[in-house]
Amino acid sequence: MVRTCGMEAVAFSEELFPPGEFPAKGREFSAMRGESAVRYVFAWVADVSRRMIEDGERIIVDTKVDCLLLDALWRNLDLVAMKICVPYVQVSAALHPDMTGQTPYFIYDWPYDPSPEGHARNVRGLQDFLPVVEPCNSVVEDYVKRVGLPISLQDPYAPFSELAQITQTPREFDFPSDHWPREFHYAGLFHESEARFPIPFPWEQLIGEPLTYSSMGTMLNGSEQAFRMIVDAPSGPDPQLVFSIGQITQSS
């Protein structure tokens, strides 16, 4: 995908990232639900971040980059960039995190409530979530102390870029809050059809019966229960089903 967009792909050390590890982890994660899925993904992010930090400075120096574009969810190369004074901006490819308590953190399904009670609820939610992100916070704390970065470990936004923080969430889809810093920008949606592989659709197999098309997403798409519910839902003598399952879940 990177090369399709006309950019150069630079690999990290293979000894740190064995081939096949990411697909295997993705398949295991895809069948999870609820808190176990959230804990799994943040533990995975922490593990990968620790390894990226280990080889990150070499990669940045060797490639002679002018600026880094980083995923806002990950705490790794932003810390390395701060250490070696390389500018960086961050993009939230998923939902952008709000750790101020002004709006609900993205794992909660709470409505927007700007009252003091709503703010207190959001803060309690963040506090309840701290044990889940503790592995990621440990990565940050270990590196900051080891290299002596002059940032506050009590400020969750300390590693965030002062140049630009970009989210792909459209402004119209976000909560109506104006507490974001001046470097925060709404810029979504991001969609480049040229970077996607063409997938032929089997039109010749359609028989004229009602068609159910299910797009299962890219990550949490391996739940047998979810597939069973979709299979059992259609009515009619011979309904047809089409599942779009991405590259993680294996069809069978």
Express each pLDDT in 22-76 by its tens digit: 778 777 877 777 888 888 888 888 988 888 898 889 989 999 999 999 998 888 8
State how far the Cα of 6 lies from the Cα of 155, in Å rounded to an integer: 37
**165 φ/ψ angles, rounded to the nearest 5 degrees:** -125, 115
Residues 45-55 have pLDDT tens digits of 898 888 889 88
**Pairing of the two strands 165-167 and 184-186:** parallel
* Cα four-point dihedral sign 149, 152, 156, 161: negative
With respect to residue 65, please indicate whether it lies within any of the assigned structural domains.
yes
DSSP string, 33-100: -HHHHHHHHHHHHHHHHHHHHHHHHHHHHHHT-S-EEEETT--SHHHHHHHHT--EEEEESSPPP--S
Total structural domains in the chain? Answer: 2
Are 173 and 204 within one domain? Answer: no
pTM over 0.85: no
116 and 240 share a domain? Answer: no
Same-domain pairing of 135 and 239: no
Residues 125 and 225 in one domain: no
The domain of 206 spans: 200-244
Q: Please provide the distance, in angstroms rounded to a whole number, between the alpha carbons at the two ends of the chain.
A: 26
Q: What mean pLDDT, rounded, does the chain reach?
A: 86
